[in-house]
Chain A
Amino acid sequence: MANVLPLPAHDAPLPLLQKASISAPLCRLPLLLHRISAGFPSPADEYAESALDLNTYLIRNKVSTFFFRVIGDSMTGANIHDGDLLVVDRSIEPKHGHIVLAVINNDYTVKRLYRHDGVIELHAENPAYPPIHFQEHDELQVWGVVIGAVSRFAV
């Protein structure tokens, strides 16, 4: 007996969802809402009613979300690996602890934002990389907040 279960709800509160008027490329996985019994074919195959779209799982605000490609291994501790696809949402206000995409020396850099007691730093998630400090008058430009990373495995 195999059950296809609905996915658990998000554990973090989601920001306001925007009207999705433009469809991003769809990736449809049919979700069967009935039990599939082993042994004889189900007469209810046409009950496959909704389709799961990975976009809706990964993306909260389509209009403000952009994809980036990761190069490097400084974020492996946060499970972000070389070659991964980053999902970056510009509509989220960056907060302490968020993984952010920052503009450093005209490059986009992915790091964890540390902001505590007036100290602002960008932390790597790999001991080989030291944190980046910001002085009082420096400007840290955060391009967007990283809300997900997608890996594909060689098969």
Chain B
Amino acid sequence: MGGGDRSGIALRGVIMESTSAQGQLFALVDVNNFYVSCERVFNPVLENRPVVVLSNNDGCAIARSNEVKTLGVKMGTPWFQMEALAKQHNIVALSSNYALYADMSNRVVSILRDYSPDVEVYSIDESFLGLDGLESLWPSFDVMGQSVRQRVRQWTGLPVCVGIGPSKTLAKLANHVAKKNSSFNGVCDLASMPLPEMDALMAGIEVGEVWGVGHRIQAHLHAVGIRTVRDLRDTPPPWLRSRFGVVMERTGSELRGISCLALEEVAPPKKEIVSSRSFGHLVHDLQSVGEAVAGHASSAAEKLRTQGGVCNAVLVFIQTNRFREQDPQYGGSIVIPLPNASADTRLLVRAALFGLKQVYRGGYAYKKAGVMLMAIGEARVAQGSLLTAHGADERSKRLMQVMDALNTRYGRNTVSVFSSSAPKPWAMRREKMSPCYTTRWSDLPVARAC
């Protein structure tokens, strides 16, 4: 890295170089207003109406339709605070239906796997695609993006936006641009955008929109005069490093088009916790992969409890070694919804192993397995309910406290869970929940022949 005297021209040189020389290219595909969009697929009444989806126990808004966003309702607004507004504007409030969202998420990921062999499921509604080596398949990646959009919409009913860029941070930014500016028609390819246009675009976006720049860092950046994405991109990385640390330096480099974050090398977003690792040697049998997955679920659950959270869905993924080209390749992932938000290792391990059984295929040599806890919310005191909450009651809380205390005192894995029993039929307890349209025979949507 050069000194602090890099001119804008030189920076652009870096961008050009990295896109053409290294050829790294990523796409981020993100479902618009995911939870609300899932509900709309099966309930036409919700089309063009303001809709919010509420968190566990119908607490606060965790997903908003565009109509609700226009009304000024912020993410996380407690339901009781917007009830008056809801009455006035006929806002439909729904409880979160993770069985539905997980099924729809899995469908979208299946479609994306037909577009790229390298898919990193980043959250329940976002995936990164590696595009290296795929350029000959498409006249341009904009065309590919439109194809993804069209196919996901047609096959699942869900609207998505596609952002493309030479780094994951730029792909994420491109996605933001595609979402906010209707002129892009849902697809923004920053990698092929003329530089003056890119400069103007970046100068018009708040620095807080950059992946990894949270509220607090944003305030610090403002204090030193970095207000837009372009400001941040044009700040010399060594300076960023000295002032904000190595993560911000990396973000700066990524904005210049130098890819620092590989696929899978996930810096987990606040809403997800990832635990994964490559096996020391290739692993073949379900039993061994299962042990690893159970271990990952346990350590992720521990992290979850440390931050006082509960999660609503568990993703499990397995992957063969894609660098051993002589071996047959396979990668699979699935999201398993939980019956209720929980941080209980027993429930999370059970869900992860249940998922593993769905995606595991015999006859492959697996290199990597992992677990991601999704749709994380704050742990709340369990509220009175006729149905038993699974892994969310007082007993569970106390057990987990004892387990964590033992492991802290006597070392990791002094007490651990390995359960391979199938999950019990799970009961939901949410008042305004839509039916589980795609996962329960009794909840199928109705087709009228009358």
Contact = CB atoms under 8 A, between A and B. Distances in A.
A and B: partners? yes
B110 A108 contact: no
A8 to B, nearest CB: 28
Contacts of B44: 103, 106-108
A109 to B, nearest CB: 5
B449 A82 contact: yes
Given A63-B156, A90-B155, A106-B45, A22 B450 contact: no
Interface in A131-146: 143
B157 interface: yes
Contacts of B111: 18, 63
Interface string A78-113: 001010011010110000000001010011111100
Interface in B398-450: 437-438, 444-450
Contacts of B155: 61, 63-64, 90-91
B359 A21 contact: yes
B449 A73 contact: yes
Contacts of A108: 44, 445-448
A59 interface: no
B446 A21 contact: no
A19 B113 contact: yes
A136 to B, nearest CB: 23
A23 B106 CA distance: 11
Given A22-B358, A64-B154, A91-B155, A71 B446 contact: yes
Contacts of B448: 71-72, 107-110
B450 to A, nearest CB: 3
B5 interface: no
Nearest to A68: B447
B157 A72 contact: no
A66 B437 contact: yes
B159 interface: no
Interface in B148-169: 154-157
A69 interface: yes
Interface string B331-345: 010100000000000
B447 A110 contact: yes
Interface band, chain A: 35 or more
A69 B444 contact: yes
Contacts of B332: 21
A72 B154 contact: no
Given A18-B110, A90-B154, A67 B444 contact: yes
A17 to B, nearest CB: 11
Nearest to B157: A90
B271 interface: no
Given A21-B110, A22-B334, A71 B449 contact: yes
Interface in B323-359: 332, 334, 358-359
Contacts of B450: 71-74, 129
A26 to B, nearest CB: 11
B124 to A, nearest CB: 15
A86 B447 contact: yes
B107 interface: yes
Contact of B113 (A21, A69, A90): A21
Contacts of B438: 66-67
A19 B114 contact: yes
A70 interface: yes
B446 to A, nearest CB: 5
Contacts of B446: 68-71, 107-108
Nearest to A146: B447
B154, B155, B450, most chain A CB atoms within 10 A: B450
Contacts of B114: 18-19
Nearest to B332: A21
A62, A108, A124, most chain B CB atoms within 10 A: A108
Given A66-B445, A75-B449, 16 more contacts: A18-B114, A19-B110, A21-B110, A63-B110, A63-B155, A66-B438, A67-B444, A68-B446, A71-B448, A71-B450, A73-B450, A80-B449, A85-B444, A90-B155, A91-B154, A143-B157
Interface of A: 18-19, 21-23, 61-64, 66-75, 80, 82, 85-86, 88, 90-91, 101, 103, 106-111, 124, 129, 143
12 contacts: A19-B110, A23-B358, A64-B107, A68-B444, A71-B450, A90-B157, A108-B448, A109-B447, A110-B447, A111-B449, A124-B449, A129-B450
Interface of B: 44-45, 106-107, 110-111, 113-114, 154-157, 332, 334, 358-359, 437-438, 444-450
